[in-house]
Structure 1
Amino acid sequence: PDLEEIKVRAPITTYPRDLFAPIREGRSVTIDNIPDPTTEHLNVVNKIYSIFHSFDVTSLSRIILYTPRKSRLSNWYVTLYMATREQAELACRLYDG
């Protein structure tokens, strides 16, 4: 990038600990095939909230673009990180398919 395009931020003073704990502990849930957030961002966020507001979600990833294996799927997904493995398993059972 050109010097005019750079962004300046304060230095990181505390580093996150154990970034992969939710994945290793089975507390992550991936929502695949979501609508294009560039045109329907608010609708996507509201829908995710309406489905998962009763779960103990500790954090979520940004909405990510990828190349799907099946062409009928959209190219977007988001990952939610739950407080417990049981919450993640329950979400997968309730909303699978």
Structure 2
Amino acid sequence: MAPDGDHAAYTAAESARARGLVGYVGRLARDIADITGMASGGSSLRLSSPSQRIVRDIGAFNLHSLLAPTTNLELYGRVLAGLEPNSPFM
């Protein structure tokens, strides 16, 4: 939502860029969680381990259809290439 509360204040290009950035941040967060999980070893898989929950939650974030890195980066790329976003959620 725009700062003044108007949903229509953003252009399609601005919305696509924001979605692309969300996707990129999600990918970076997943990469960080994976590296941290691998560094923690097998003990990070225990249900009592905070690392296990963090890795699982970040993975769930990246599976959400409006937040998924692949979907959002594709949408942004389409707009940059001058194509239609191909998504009703702009």
The TM-score with structure 2 as length reference comes to 0.23
The structure in which a higher percent of residues are helix is: 2
